[in-house]
Each structure stands twice: as structure tokens, then as C-alpha cells.
Amino acid sequence: MASNTSKTARASVRAGQAGQGGALSVLGEFKYLIPLNNGKHAYVRNLTNGKTVHLRTDSNAFVEEIRVLTGAGHGTKIRAELQALAASNPNHGWDATEKRLVDAGVFEA
């Protein structure tokens, strides 16, 4: 069976699922965003469908992927991750990425 996800993305998902035991208690530790290329790209891990996608953080596809996750109730955690990334890497543009998502109405109820 061929897969469109990269070996690194699959390994990332497996690492995130290790020790899960089938329970959703992993939500407290689950990272949705894996930053790449100084914030220009990111792996977005989707708990709802089990897929990890590689996207440009300034793309419409990134906005839509985050919108889907927010619609599934993960918006608060994703926004907290964006703020933590902005604090730990102030020159990577995560604050601008969060602003772009807010302007697109992604985090609105």
C-alpha cells in the first residue's frame, strides 16, 4: 500500500501514538504543530483522522487544516501552541501565523 505521507511524518505520528493505550488521555501532551524551516512550514497532526500533513504556514491549506481541527474542538490547544512557538522562537513568525488565522476567523466560535 503506497502512502503519500513522508517517512518522517509517519515516524512523527507513531512517536505521538506511543504509549497511548487507545485512550484519549494523550490530549494533554499531543502536539498539533511540528515546526519546520524556521516557521515557514509545519507538520500539522490531525487527531481526528490520524493524518499528518506538511504545509506552508502562509498557505490557505494550512488555514483550512487548522479550521477543521478548531471545528473539532482543538482550537484552544492549537492557539496555545502557536503562542508558545512565538515565545520560544520570536524571529520565526509564529505571531504572524496566529494573526493570519485570527484574521481568517479560524478561532471564532
Percent of the chain past pLDDT 70, that is, above it, reads 82
**Does the pLDDT of residue 19 top 60, yes or no?**
no
Minimum mean pLDDT among 4-8, 52-56, 61-65, 102-106: which range? 4-8
The SS3 assignment for 44 reads strand
Q: pTM of this prediction?
A: 0.72
DSSP designation for 20: -
